[in-house]
Chains A and B, each alone.
Chain A
């Protein structure tokens, strides 16, 4: 039966080329936009290198001090807070403290090179899965000794050393020389917690360690032993914050900080902080936006489908006469429409691949490596099916209600 449906769907597509073009254009363009957005979403929040095990990772990137006199201060926490309180957590497997990246300058062949530098500890390399092209990460010993060593990314190697090997050579940034001990594959700039052009031991910034304020310019990356430990870590983090609040209450303030997964950190900052995890809410907003974006082309496709199916009223009459129930007719037209949207989806997929390649090469997002992986493909497929179902069910239902005699009169040939 399916083969018969597909045969007729294909024949109808070929018969009305203009309708087919309009439908396919609408579907493929809509899906292309959605797939590019999905790919971008996956790129920022998905389990990508070096944050591949994202279901075991939590990030601390904000601390809010709420003063009793209504004043408020919010931003990255300090090394002191992360070292003294966050590192005291017992549930995690590992905790890294690393700075937010700072822009530094370097000169090569009298040309200025602007680089993003991040101070990290050795745990940073244990928690995150960087792809080392050369050398190694810095060790605990090198961190303890504040050795001037650096791991650089592929792009910095190319800009600074050309095509030569970089390990063992020196790179000078802001008049400080570092020995290159490793080269890693570029990390996209949207991966805020791991991205940099250059990573150096955190102890080289030890002047920050003495400051006892809670706000500063550091992040923590926490790795759970297993994904199921994540809620326990969040609970322990909450308890630790309660303890801290008891201590700071005499300073007439409250302190709020959370350990969230990557999407959670974004949701919390995007939706204005707050005590609750806003991931679900943000997911709903994004799903709503996608729905609204799809609504117009869907209505358009519904109209096109109605006129398309109306032309086939005689066929509906014949099918009913020979034993198709209304349900079967709905099934047929929905299958046909899903076939059409899958075709549009395939086209949309090809166009998306082109658009993503253009974005990757444009430099709009530094080190972007947007692509259509299996996850994006699965989402794209799901979007196609939803699109096909939504735009096909109503016209199919409407036409299935046609009286067989009227349907037969409608299109006699």
Chain B
């Protein structure tokens, strides 16, 4: 589904060169729920951004469904993100000037979908995350957990094959965190959505079916590889 081949990411300023990712090779299969763990600054989010085609690697290749994306234009990358990928961010990144349902419609705005169909699909996505009663509210009228559920509904609205979640429970208390995790697990198990989640929470990570650990920009452990070795 997503293939990262020899990915390097180096941030350069005039005086300093920081290696964020070093020789990362990773293949995420369709239907997997992968969690990525590691200390702060080890390159987890950078990896997720490269997987989500939001950032470019310094070297190496990214392939989605076997197709390398290196030569894709800005418009083609935008189309791929729109149709294949849904994002969930730690800090929600909702648009605070738009209502809940308008936020959820966002991915469908960039497709040829009629206004009524957009609204219908956004409401369905909100129902999946249990927020049907809050469609007309604005993000600042919701709790953190509710905001994250809106963000998940937004990621779902476009019916993507992959959800990339960057510490989706990081800003939430444990109860709300569990609720969000349950939604993601249900999506993966019932709808077969591929999910890649960056997390600091070992308990959350253990609920997924593959755990990858990072340290200093390098992949140091992959539970699937370990299982294969055992």
Contacts A314-B93, A321-B81, A325-B75; A405 near B154 (Cβ below 8 A): no
Q: Is the interface of A mostly helix, strand, loop or mixed?
A: helix
Would A322 and B106 count as touching, CB distance under 8 A? yes
Of all A-B residue pairs in the complex, the 8 with the closest CB atoms, nearest first, are: A323-B82, A11-B97, A325-B78, A323-B110, A412-B91, A404-B54, A322-B107, A325-B75
Chain A residues with Cβ below 8 Å from B81 are 320-323
Q: Does A276 contact B (CB under 8 A)?
A: no
Interface string of B109-136 (1 = CB under 8 A from A): 1110001000000000000000000000
- 25 A-B interface contacts by CB (under 8 A): A1-B109, A7-B98, A8-B97, A12-B97, A314-B93, A315-B95, A318-B93, A319-B106, A321-B52, A321-B87, A322-B107, A322-B110, A322-B154, A323-B81, A323-B110, A323-B158, A324-B78, A324-B110, A325-B75, A403-B55, A404-B54, A405-B49, A412-B91, A413-B91, A413-B94
Most chain A CB within 10 A, of B77, B82, B97, B105, is at B97
Q: Known A-B contacts: A321-B54, A323-B83, A325-B78. Give 7 more (CB < 8 A).
A: A7-B97, A12-B97, A322-B86, A325-B74, A327-B75, A403-B55, A405-B49
Q: Does A90 contact B (CB under 8 A)?
A: no
CA distance A323 to B102 in the complex (A): 15
Chain A residues with Cβ below 8 Å from B105 are 4
Chain B residues with Cβ below 8 Å from A8 are 95, 97-98
Which chain A residues (363-413) contact chain B, with CB distance < 8 Å?
Answer: 403-405, 408, 412-413
Chain B residues with Cβ below 8 Å from A137 are none
Which chain A residues (144-185) contact chain B, with CB distance < 8 Å?
Answer: none
Total interface residues on B, CB under 8 Å, equals 33
Within 8 Å by CB of B87, from A322, A325, A327, lies A322
Would B97 and A15 count as touching, CB distance under 8 A? yes
- Distance to closest chain B CB from A67 (angstroms): 70
Would A405 and B54 count as touching, CB distance under 8 A? yes
Q: Which bucket holds chain A's interface residue count?
A: 20 to 34
Chain A residues with Cβ below 8 Å from B110 are 322-324, 328
- Distance to closest chain A CB from B201 (angstroms): 20
Within 8 Å by CB of B92, from A320, A328, A413, lies A413
Q: Does B79 contact A (CB under 8 A)?
A: yes
CA distance A222 to B223 in the complex (A): 95
Q: Does A112 contact B (CB under 8 A)?
A: no
Considering only CB atoms, which chain B residue lies closest to A325 in the complex?
B78
Considering only CB atoms, which chain A residue lies closest to B76 in the complex?
A325
Chain B residues with Cβ below 8 Å from A321 are 52, 54, 81, 87, 93
Q: Does B89 contact A (CB under 8 A)?
A: yes
CA distance A227 to B209 in the complex (A): 82
Would B54 and A320 count as touching, CB distance under 8 A? yes
Chain B residues with Cβ below 8 Å from A96 are none
- Distance to closest chain A CB from B170 (angstroms): 12
CA distance A318 to B158 in the complex (A): 14
Chain B residues with Cβ below 8 Å from A315 are 95
Chain A residues with Cβ below 8 Å from B115 are 3
Within 8 Å by CB of B55, from A327, A404, A413, lies A404
Contacts A1-B109, A405-B55; A318 near B78 (Cβ below 8 A): no
Considering only CB atoms, which chain A residue lies closest to B138 in the complex?
A11
- Distance to closest chain A CB from B58 (angstroms): 14
Which of B's residues lie within 8 Å of A, judged by CB?
Answer: 49, 52, 54-55, 74-75, 77-79, 81-83, 86-87, 89, 91-98, 102, 105-107, 109-111, 115, 154, 158
- Distance to closest chain B CB from A160 (angstroms): 64
Would B74 and A318 count as touching, CB distance under 8 A? no
CA distance A408 to B93 in the complex (A): 8
Q: Does A326 contact B (CB under 8 A)?
A: yes
- Distance to closest chain B CB from A76 (angstroms): 64
Considering only CB atoms, which chain B residue lies closest to A321 in the complex?
B87
- Distance to closest chain A CB from B193 (angstroms): 16
Interface string of A1-29 (1 = CB under 8 A from B): 10110011001100100000000000000
Would B95 and A318 count as touching, CB distance under 8 A? yes
Which chain A residues (50-107) contact chain B, with CB distance < 8 Å?
Answer: none
Would B107 and A323 count as touching, CB distance under 8 A? yes
Within 8 Å by CB of A408, from B89, B107, B109, B154, lies B89
Chain B residues with Cβ below 8 Å from A348 are none
Would B78 and A328 count as touching, CB distance under 8 A? yes
CA distance A319 to B109 in the complex (A): 10
Considering only CB atoms, which chain B residue lies closest to A319 in the complex?
B106
Q: Does A317 contact B (CB under 8 A)?
A: yes
Chain A residues with Cβ below 8 Å from B97 are 7-8, 11-12, 15
Chain A residues with Cβ below 8 Å from B77 are 325
Chain A residues with Cβ below 8 Å from B95 are 8, 315, 318
- Distance to closest chain A CB from B107 (angstroms): 4
- Distance to closest chain A CB from B144 (angstroms): 11
Would A323 and B98 count as touching, CB distance under 8 A? no
Chain B residues with Cβ below 8 Å from A326 are 74
CA distance A162 to B75 in the complex (A): 74
Chain B residues with Cβ below 8 Å from A320 are 54, 78, 81
CA distance A222 to B155 in the complex (A): 72
CA distance A139 to B145 in the complex (A): 89
Considering only CB atoms, which chain A residue lies closest to B91 in the complex?
A412
Chain A residues with Cβ below 8 Å from B54 are 317, 320-321, 404-405, 408
Chain B residues with Cβ below 8 Å from A324 are 78, 109-110
Which chain A residues (220-253) contact chain B, with CB distance < 8 Å?
Answer: none
CA distance A268 to B77 in the complex (A): 58
Within 8 Å by CB of A4, from B75, B94, B96, B98, lies B98
